[in-house]
Structure 1
Amino acid sequence: MPRPRDSFDDLRPLAFREPDEVLDADQLYTVYEVARLLQGVPLDQELDVETENVLLDWAIPWLVYNQEQFVFAEPEHDSQPGYYGLRREE
């Protein structure tokens, strides 16, 4: 349900970070790990499924929007997620 603008004390600009500000260039990450890093959540922190899904709702469009800056590696098994990393200028 919408809320009146003046019911909020803190309004901030919506700004997404650049991929190189989030990811280490020498690492590849699953989409779940990317989602956590985008929100500053430690990779080993336990999360409930609902929270994990909300984080993914932010991460997937961010990956798609910045797709030209990423490389993709296939998972070891079909039941696992793939890995994403920063594209390097070789």
Structure 2
Amino acid sequence: MNRGQGTMNRGQGTMNRGQGTMNRGQGTMNRGQGTMNRGQGTMNRGQGTMNRGQGTMNRSQGTMNRGQGTMNRGQGTMIRNQGTMNNDSINFT
């Protein structure tokens, strides 16, 4: 845990400069300002929430919830999606 200003609880990966919470994460939370909860992938520069994500949330400003794919630079919400949300600014489920 490097320069984290929040909480890393039962994390098996890396929390680097996180200002939120990494809880039971098995991957990496890097410069996240929100919450990574039970993530098995990577949350990189996310300003929202990655909850039970099994893929990657990269530079997102919204929410990735139970996503099994990738949310990349999305400004909306990815909920229970099994594909990819890339450069999107709308919400879909």
TM-score grouping bracket, smaller chain normalisation: under 0.3
Alignment TM-score, normalising by the size of structure 1: 0.20
Higher strand content, 1 or 2: 2
TM-score, structure 2 normalization: 0.20
Identify which of structures 1 and 2 has the higher relative contact order when contacts are C-alpha pairs closer than 8 Å and 6+ apart.
1
Structure (1/2) with the larger helix percentage? 1
